[in-house]
Amino acid sequence: MTKIYEVRGVRIGEGRPKIIVPIVGKDKKAILEKARSFEGLPIDVVEWRVDFYEDVFDISKVMDTLNELRMVLLEKPILFTFRTKNEGGEKEISMEEYTRLNKVVANSGLVDLIDVEIFSGDEIVRENIENIHGANVLVVGSNHDFHQTPEKDELLRRLQKMQEMGADIPKIAVMPQTPADVLVLLSATYEMVSCFADRPIITMSMSSKGVISRMAGEVFGSSMTFGAVGQVSAPGQIPVEKLECVLDILHNAM
């Protein structure tokens, strides 16, 4: 049986894939304005991509912006993500600082999920996961390849490693060169959920070639999908209203 997580009333791992929308503002004003614009849109979870924030290395400013973000978003679940330069993010960060940031944010009680890049060194990753779980926050394990799609066995190995390390929701995003690569990602997703996973996973094939993977999660086994309101945080994200429409068509057909 696959686990289901209930996060502020959103049931992850069940039914229609949940829509996550990133906030990629550079300053507090832009971040809060974007959050306000979400009212009434079909969004289940908001991701704050804090690596885009110009004051991200000042923890008191991060906390101040996060406090206000929580006030704007009310009961909407927040996924907190520092995407490192290595994995396609905006900024470099030392692992010590990454760990400290995630710990302070986890302990604040203001966020519901935190992204941890699993291939950053086992010891430091374990420390991150322990800190985050200690604060009763869920860990989204992550890995990105912005150049290619690894073989299916390698995708399965990475997703299983995330699960073994204790990530509550393993997630992988890869780049297709051909439509066959998209099939590899979908096939790995299906095999992972049918043979190995005891928890929800998230997968996507990026860019225009991979768009189908952002819509077909309910068919192949991806529990959440990233959509856009304005600026995207990765290639291939489609506007949330269109995304919702396709997710509903597939859901109602199943």
Q: Is residue 47 annotated as involved in ligand binding?
A: yes
49 or 209: CB nearest ligand DQA: 49
Instruction: Convert residues 59-78 into a mask of x (bound to ligand DQA by CB under 6 A) and - (unbound).
Output: --------------------
Q: Which of 5, 32, 44, 81 binds ligand DQA (CB under 6 A)?
A: 81
Q: Tell me how far, at minimum, the Cβ of 1 lies from ligand DQA, in Å.
A: 26
Distance of CA 6 to the CA centre of its chain: 16
What number of chain residues touch ligand DQA (CB under 6 A)?
A: 16
> CA 211 to CA 223: how far, in whole Å?
15
Q: Tell me how far, at minimum, the Cβ of 7 lies from ligand DQA, in Å.
A: 16
Check: CB of residue 8 under 8 Å from CB of residue 77.
Answer: yes
Q: Which of 35, 69, 137, 173 binds ligand DQA (CB under 6 A)?
A: 173
C-alpha angle 144/7/164, rounded to 5°?
Answer: 45
Let me know if 133 is a catalytic residue: no
CA distance to 2, 4, 159, 247, per residue, from 198 (Å): 4, 10, 12, 23
Q: Does 23 bind ligand DQA (CB under 6 A)?
A: no
Identify the sign of the CA torsion 183, 185, 190, 194. Answer: positive
- Torsion angle (degrees, nearest 10) of CA 214, 226, 101, 130: -50
Q: Is residue 151 annotated as involved in ligand binding?
A: no
Let me know if 171 is a catalytic residue: yes
Check: CB of residue 197 under 8 Å from CB of residue 168.
Answer: no
Q: Which of 193, 234, 243, 247 binds ligand DQA (CB under 6 A)?
A: 234
Check: CB of residue 178 under 8 Å from CB of residue 196.
Answer: no
Q: Of the residues 144, 147, 152, 251, which is catalytic?
A: 144
Q: Which residues bind ligand DQA (CB under 6 A)?
A: 22, 47, 49, 81, 83, 115, 142, 144, 171, 173, 204, 206, 226, 233-234, 237
Give me the active site residues, please.
144, 171
